[in-house]
Amino acid sequence: MSEDALRQLDAEMDANTTESIPVPSPTAPEPMSMGAVLRVVTMRRLWYAQIVSVLGDFLALFAVITVMTFKLHATAQQVIGVQISYLLPIALLGIVSGVFVDRWPVKTTLVSSDFIRAALVLLLLLVHNVYGFYAVLAAISIVSSFFSPAQGVAIRSAVPMHGLRSANALMQQVMFIMRIIGPSAAAFLVASFGARSCYLIDTASFIASGSLIASLTLITPRKAAAPQSQLAAPRSPIARILADMKEGASFILHHAALLFVIVALAAGMFVMGCFGPLIAVYVRDTLHASTRTFGVTSAMIGLGLLIGVNTLNAFAQRIKNTTQVYLGLAGIAVGTAMLAFIPLVVTAILGCFLIGFSAAGIIVPSQTLIQEETPGDLMGRVGSTTMSVIFTAQIAGLVLSGILAEYTSVRRVFALCTMLLAALMLAGKLWMEPKDHPSLA
**Tens digit of pLDDT for each residue in 14-61?**
444 343 334 444 566 788 888 899 999 999 999 999 998 888 888 888
pLDDT on residue 4: 52
Residue 77: partners with Cβ closer than 8 Å, 6 or more residues away: none
Distance, in Å, from the CA atom of 418 to the CA atom of 422, rounded to the nearest integer, reads 6
* The pLDDT value given to residue 140: 93
Q: Give the other-Cβ count within 10 Å of 435's Cβ.
A: 7
**Cα separation, 402 vs 28, whole angstroms:** 48
Q: By C-alpha distance, which of 84, 103, 207 is closest to 149? A: 103
Q: How far is CA 383 from CA 8, 122, 333, 421, in A?
A: 54, 29, 26, 23
Q: Are 95 and 385 within 8 A, CB to CB?
A: yes
Query: Sign of the CA dihedral 408, 420, 180, 183?
Result: negative
Q: Domain boundaries in the chain?
A: 37-218, 238-434
Of 401, 89, 412, the C-alpha closest to 271 is 401
Contacts of 220 (CB under 8 A, 6+ apart): 106, 153, 154, 157, 376
Smallest Cα–Cα separation from 249: which of 119, 384, 397?
Answer: 384
pLDDT at 367: 83
pLDDT score of 440: 46
Which amino acid makes up residue 199? Y
User: Looking at residue 211, what is its pLDDT?
Assistant: 94
Where the chain has pLDDT below 50, the residues are 1-2, 5-6, 9-25, 225-233, 437-441
What is the C-alpha separation between 429 and 433, in angstroms, rounded? 5
Q: What's the confidence (pLDDT) of residue 311? A: 84
DSSP string, 396-439: HHHHHHHHHHHHS-HHHHHHHHHHHHHHHHHHHHHH--PPP-PP
Question: What's the rounded Cα separation, in Å, for the pair 243 and 35?
Answer: 41
Classify 217 as helix, strand or coil.
coil
Distance, CA of 127 to CA of 139 (rounded, Å): 14
Q: Which residues of 168-192 are buried (b: 16+ CB within 10 A; e: fewer)?
A: bbbbbbbbbbbbbebbebbeebbee
- Residue count of the chain: 441
Q: pLDDT for 116-157, tens place per residue?
A: 999 999 999 999 899 999 999 999 999 999 998 999 889 988
CATH fourth-level superfamily of 37-218: MFS general substrate transporter like domains (1.20.1250.20)
Tell me if domain 37-218 and domain 238-434 are identical in fold: yes
Judge whether 185 and 59 are in contact, CB under 8 Å: yes
Distance between CA atoms of 434 and 89, rounded to whole angstroms? 31
CATH-assigned architecture of domain 238-434: Up-down Bundle (1.20)
- Alpha-carbon torsion angle 311, 258, 319, 349, nearest 10: 40
Helix (H) or strand (E) holding 98: helix 76-103
Residue 251: HSE in the Cβ half-sphere, 13 Å Cα cutoff: 20
CA-derived radius of gyration, the chain: 24
Amino acid identity, position 352: C
Largest CA distance in the chain: 101
